[in-house]
Amino acid sequence: MAKVPDPRLEGGLWCHEVLEALQGYVADTLSSQERDAVEAHLRRCDQCARFGGAYSEVVVALRRELTQPEALDRARADRLADRLRSVTDEP
């Protein structure tokens, strides 16, 4: 196992909670409160990109979106969801 960084609490969520919520985030099944919390966390936490391991590519892409003025568009969100599914389907 890779070294796990110290957990961080940002936006009312711990890193592992954000990673668990990511699948719902990209699938757009979270409540607006949950989305806000995930976004607030990712904006402040550069650790999730490393903590995430296989998720890191998705987290990095999300962080890039969140720091740009335009919202995450649907096509990009769908691609991220596919990417995330391919990651989580691995044994």
Residues engaged in binding Zn ion (CB under 5 A): 8, 15, 45, 47-48
**CB-based burial of residue 8 (10 Å sphere; 0-12 exposed, 13-18 middle, 19+ buried)?**
middle
Report in angstroms how near the CB of residue 75 gets to Zn ion at its nearest.
Answer: 26
The candidate with the shortest Cα–Cα distance to 82, out of 20, 32, 23, 18, is: 23
Give 8 or 63: the residue with its C-beta nearer to Zn ion.
Answer: 8
